[in-house]
């Protein structure tokens, strides 16, 4: 539905040039919710603004619904934009228009007749839960309500694609959830393809099917959301995941931890269980078969869409050859093992 | 006070209102589009035309930097050409209008500058043409600011018109000078000043009321 081919964007020229986006390919399938995540300044906004050519890419081609946007003239591009909805972090509603008139705006721009506008706006207000707010002005609404208006407005022209630029970043967690539910609902009911950018893993976890990780203007990792949350393949991906899961060893332990194993140390490991491993009594077997003691420091279970993810931080206590054996045993099973460091015995 | 005097005061008041009204309306009709042009042709704006923008900006600045009293005298031939005379209320309207156009344009440009760029961007993402962006986004969103600008213009025109009156333009300024100053009649002087104060007050209140109605912020 959305295809970016070799898209790059450079701001400015010469030594001051900023390569906001390095040559990037991206594909979003019909009906998919694709999330692009990255740190501030990674190039997320640049990427999404290139899709509807709010920003002209320096190189590359963009296809939306089979049409190459980068080859269109001004008028044709405006026509094509009617089929691409967009919502923004700061809502961008017209303060001079009521909720109803804001939602009607794209239809006015398309030259839709007044009567038809009335018929088309009302169902959108129902869908977004704004029926009783139609005569209010944006200044009288909460942030969540404003974003609902923006969503209704973006849907008015019956687009096939919805672009969301940090659509929930200005909202509190609860309101964020309700907006995400709405987007999910729209995706299901209308079969709308959604490309969203965010810096919050929560957003990706809640509604995305696929995720792309962007860093320094490059798409460094791309995965199904279930896979990304269980086994990110890049260092940055792991950092995002760990920050999201907030599963770090206690500070007191970190202070004692050494990077290399010594003659009298034992390893501290972070384990991530997925799939069958979640339901296997692995830890008790480990203790039995390898003859080590396992001290569990922290553990939690997350459900990522249909998948379950178990997480644990543990010390493996025993003589070095035993703990080495234990590590090998863990690695031979279907789970992620990361040695965080080593601590002195009986410290 | 004689009824003749009262009639003179009434006529002068109407003359002032006439001068301010006509020059204000014409200046708004020309100054608002000029202000829009100044804004939309800026670099990175929806109709970016840097050369035109610089040229318009210079003309506007020149218009604004000429002191009104000098402008009035300097354009006498032009005034005569337009209204056939260089004295009287009609003649005063020409320099008043000319002075007010760049004034309005800059105030309108400033009001448009207050419209969050995100709104223009949102409209662009909906496929709006530059004309639609101007008529459906920029002007409605800047309505409050534009009305504020026009109010300031009206108030300024009241005082300029009094200045024009001093050199044969008619209206309250003329009356105040002729009777109040030259014939040393402090009562007439005070009355004309009082009427001017009330007039300015009235324009300001009217403007404020309109802004309140226009703004939903
Ligand atoms: N108009 C511009 N001119 C020059 N540089 C720009 C422009 N827009 C963005 N950049 C630069 O491009 C880089 C990527 O910016 P971008 O806005 O895409 O980041 P982002 O991932 O959206 O960040 P954030 O999460 O903070 O919104 C940044 O280094 C930024 O400074
Ligand atoms: Mg951004």
| pLDDT of A346 | 62
Mean of pLDDT over chain A: 90
Substitution site in A24, A42, A47 for ligand 1 pocket (most atoms within 8 Å of beta carbon): A42
| pLDDT of A14 | 84
B161 neighbors B174 (Cβ within 8 angstroms): no
Mean of pLDDT over chain B: 92
Question: From ligand 1's centre to the CA of A182, what distance in Å?
Answer: 28
Q: Which ligand is the nearest neighbour of the Cα of A22?
A: 1
Secondary structure tally for chain A: helices H, strands E: 12, 14
| pLDDT of B189 | 87
* Strand stretches in B19-106, DSSP E: none
Structural tokens at position A290 = 């390898």
Substitution site in A9, A10, A11, A37 for ligand 1 pocket (most atoms within 8 Å of beta carbon): A11
Q: Residue with the nearest Cα to atom 17 of ligand 1?
A: A45
* CB pairs < 8 Å spanning A and B: 66
- Higher per-residue confidence, B91 vs A272: B91
**Nearest chain A alpha carbon to B124:** A54
Q: Which atom of ligand 1 is nearest to the CA of A46?
A: 18
Rounded Cα distance, B25 and A30, in Å? 55
| pLDDT of A347 | 47
Q: What is the maximum alpha-carbon separation in chain B?
A: 68
Question: How far are the Cα atoms of A86, A128, A140, B209 from residue A96, in angstroms, in the given order?
Answer: 20, 21, 12, 16
B2 backbone φψ class: left, alpha, beta (φ>0; ψ -120 to 50) = beta
Three-state secondary structure call for residue B31: helix
Name the residue facing A82 among B127, B140, B216 (closest C-beta).
B127
DSSP-H helix ranges across B114-185: 117-125, 130-132, 139-141, 143-164, 171-175
- Is any Cβ of chain A less than 8 angstroms from the Cβ of B190? no
Rounded Cα distance, A29 and A27, in Å? 6
Neighbours of A256 (CB within 10 A): 16
pLDDT tens string A253-312: 788 888 888 888 888 888 888 766 666 778 888 888 888 888 888 888 888 877 788 888
Helix (H) or strand (E) holding A317: strand A307-317
pLDDT tens string A184-193: 999 999 999 9
Q: Across the interface, do A84 and B217 touch by the CB < 8 Å criterion? A: no
Phi, psi of B210 (to 5 degrees): -65, -40
A44 lines ligand 1 (CB under 6 A): yes
Rounded Cα distance, A222 and A120, in Å? 37
| pLDDT of B217 | 66
Rounded Cα distance, A74 and A53, in Å? 11
pLDDT tens string A198-230: 999 999 999 999 999 999 999 999 999 988 987
Sequence-distant (≥ 6) Cβ neighbours of residue A115 within 8 angstroms: none
Helix (H) or strand (E) holding A40: none
Sequence-distant (≥ 6) Cβ neighbours of residue B107 within 8 angstroms: B35, B145, B146, B148, B149, B150, B152, B153
Question: From ligand 2's centre to the CA of B143, what distance in Å?
Answer: 30
> Can you spell out the DSSP letters for A65-97?
TTEEGGG--HHHHHHHHTTEEEE-TT----TTS
Q: What is the maximum alpha-carbon separation in chain A?
A: 82
Question: From ligand 2's centre to the CA of A143, what distance in Å?
Answer: 18
- Is any Cβ of chain A less than 8 angstroms from the Cβ of B115? no
A36 neighbors B109 (Cβ within 8 angstroms): no
A270 lines ligand 1 (CB under 6 A): no
Q: What is the CATH number of domain B3-216?
A: 1.10.3720.10
Mean pLDDT of B12-33: 96
Q: Which atom of ligand 1 is nearest to the CA of A18?
A: 5
Q: Which atom of ligand 1 is nearest to the CA of A11?
A: 4
CA distance to partner chain A, nearest, from residue B169 (Å): 41
What percent of chain B stands above pLDDT 90?
Answer: 73
Sequence-distant (≥ 6) Cβ neighbours of residue B149 within 8 angstroms: B104, B107, B108, B110, B111
| pLDDT of A278 | 67
What percent of chain A stands above pLDDT 70?
Answer: 98
| pLDDT of B156 | 95
Neighbours of B30 (CB within 10 A): 17
B141 neighbors A94 (Cβ within 8 angstroms): yes
Q: Across the interface, do B121 and A84 touch by the CB < 8 Å criterion? A: no
Question: From ligand 1's centre to the CA of B57, what distance in Å?
Answer: 31
Task: Match 């404003």 to its residue by tokens.
Answer: A146
Rounded Cα distance, A321 and A346, in Å? 18
What's the full length of chain A, in residues?
347
For testing contact with chain B, the best of A11, A92, A147 (most B CBs within 10 A): A92
Q: Across the interface, do B217 and A139 touch by the CB < 8 Å criterion? A: yes
Rounded Cα distance, B133 and B36, in Å? 11
pLDDT tens string B117-152: 999 999 999 999 999 999 999 999 999 999 999 999
A314 neighbors A272 (Cβ within 8 angstroms): no
Range of weakest confidence among A60-69, A252-261, B9-18, B65-74: A252-261
Q: Across the interface, do B216 and A138 touch by the CB < 8 Å criterion? A: yes
| pLDDT of A276 | 67
Q: Across the interface, do B125 and A105 touch by the CB < 8 Å criterion? A: no
Is the pLDDT assigned to residue A164 strictly greater than 90?
A: yes
Three-state secondary structure call for residue A253: helix
| pLDDT of A158 | 94
Which residues fall inside 5 Å of ion ligand 2, going by CB?
A 45
A196 neighbors A210 (Cβ within 8 angstroms): no
Q: Which ligand is the nearest neighbour of the Cα of A16?
A: 1
B38 neighbors B56 (Cβ within 8 angstroms): yes
A198 lines ligand 1 (CB under 6 A): no
pLDDT band at A319 (very low <50, low <70, confident <90, very high): confident
A106 lines ligand 1 (CB under 6 A): no
pLDDT tens string B204-216: 999 999 999 888 7
pLDDT tens string B170-206: 889 888 888 877 788 888 888 999 999 999 999 999 9
| pLDDT of A119 | 94
Q: What angle do CA B48, B52, B55 make, to 5 degrees?
A: 140
Neighbours of A311 (CB within 10 A): 21
Question: From ligand 1's centre to the CA of B15, what distance in Å?
Answer: 58
For testing contact with chain A, the best of B126, B131, B146, B216 (most A CBs within 10 A): B126
Secondary structure tally for chain B: helices H, strands E: 11, 0
| pLDDT of A277 | 65
Is the pLDDT assigned to residue A327 strictly greater than 90?
A: no
Contacts of A181-190 spanning 24+ positions with Cβ under 8 A:
A182/A128, A182/A129, A182/A148, A182/A151, A183/A33, A183/A151, A183/A207, A184/A33, A186/A127, A186/A151, A186/A155, A186/A162, A187/A31, A187/A33, A189/A127, A190/A155
Whether this model's ipTM surpasses 0.90 comes out as: no
First to last CA, chain A: 58
**Nearest chain A alpha carbon to B140:** A96
Neighbours of A340 (CB within 10 A): 17
Helix (H) or strand (E) holding B212: helix B186-214
HSE (side-chain half, CA atoms, 13 Å) at A191: 4
């Amino acid at each position: 539905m959305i295809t970016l081919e070799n898209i790059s964007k450079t701001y400015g020229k010469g030594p001051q040039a900023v390569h906001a986006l390095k040559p990037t390919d991206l594909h979003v399938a019909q009906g998919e919710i694709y999330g692009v995540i990255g740190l501030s300044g990674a190039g997320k906004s640049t990427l999404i603004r290139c899709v509807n050519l709010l920003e002209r890419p320096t190189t590359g081609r963009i296809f939306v619904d089979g049409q190459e946007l980068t080859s269109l003239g001004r008028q044709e591009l405006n026509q094509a934009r009617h089929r691409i909805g967009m919502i923004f972090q700061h809502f961008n509603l017209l303060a001079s228009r009521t909720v109803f008139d804001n939602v009607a705006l794209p239809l006015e721009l398309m030259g839709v007749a007044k009567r038809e506008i009335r018929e088309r706006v009302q169902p959108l207000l129902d869908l977004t839960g704004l029926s009783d707010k139609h005569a209010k002005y944006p200044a009288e609404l909460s942030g969540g309500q404003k974003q609902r208006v923006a969503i209704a407005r973006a849907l008015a022209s019956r687009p096939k694609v919805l672009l969301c630029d940090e659509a929930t970043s200005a909202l509190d967690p609860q309101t964020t959830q309700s907006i995400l539910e709405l987007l999910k609902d729209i995706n299901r009911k209308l079969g709308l393809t959604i490309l969203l950018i965010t810096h919050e893993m929560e957003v990706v976890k809640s509604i995305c099917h696929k995720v792309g990780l962007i860093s320094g203007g490059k798409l460094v990792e791309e995965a199904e959301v279930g896979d990304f949350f269980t086994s990110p393949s890049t260092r940055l991906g792991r950092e995002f995941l760990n920050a999201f899961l907030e599963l770090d060893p206690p500070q007191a332990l970190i202070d004692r931890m050494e990077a290399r194993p010594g003659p009298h140390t034992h390893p501290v490991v972070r384990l991530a269980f997925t799939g069958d491993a979640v339901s296997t009594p692995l830890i008790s077997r480990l203790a039995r078969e390898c003859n080590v003691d396992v001290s569990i420091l922290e553990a939690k279970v997350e459900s990522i869409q249909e998948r379950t993810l178990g997480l644990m931080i543990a010390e493996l206590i025993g003589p070095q050859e035993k703990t080495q054996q234990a590590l090998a045993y863990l690695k031979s099973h279907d789970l992620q093992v990361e040695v965080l460091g080593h601590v002195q015995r009986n410290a | 006070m004689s009824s003749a005097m009262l009639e003179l005061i009434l006529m002068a008041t109407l003359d002032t209102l006439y001068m301010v009204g006509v020059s204000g309306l014409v200046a708004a009709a020309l100054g608002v589009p000029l202000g829009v042009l100044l804004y939309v042709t800026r670099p990175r704006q929806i109709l970016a035309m840097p050369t035109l923008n610089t040229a318009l900006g210079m003309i506007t600045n020149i218009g604004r930097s000429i002191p009104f009293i000098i402008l009035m005298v300097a354009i006498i031939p032009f005034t005569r050409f337009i209204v056939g005379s260089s004295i009287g209320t009609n003649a005063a309207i020409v320099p008043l209008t000319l002075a007010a156009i760049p004034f309005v344009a800059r105030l309108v440009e400033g009001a448009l500058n207050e419209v969050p760029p995100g709104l223009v961007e949102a409209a662009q993402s909906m496929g709006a043409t530059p004309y639609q962006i101007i008529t459906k986004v920029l002007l409605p969103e800047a309505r409050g600011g534009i009305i504020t600008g026009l109010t300031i213009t009206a108030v300024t025109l009241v005082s300029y018109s009094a200045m024009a009156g001093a050199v044969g333009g008619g209206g309250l300024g003329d009356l105040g000078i002729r009777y109040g100053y030259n014939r040393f009649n402090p009562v007439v002087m005070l009355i004309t000043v009082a009427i001017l104060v009330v007039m300015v007050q009235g324009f300001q209140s009217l403007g404020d009321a309109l802004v309140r109605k226009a703004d939903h912020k």
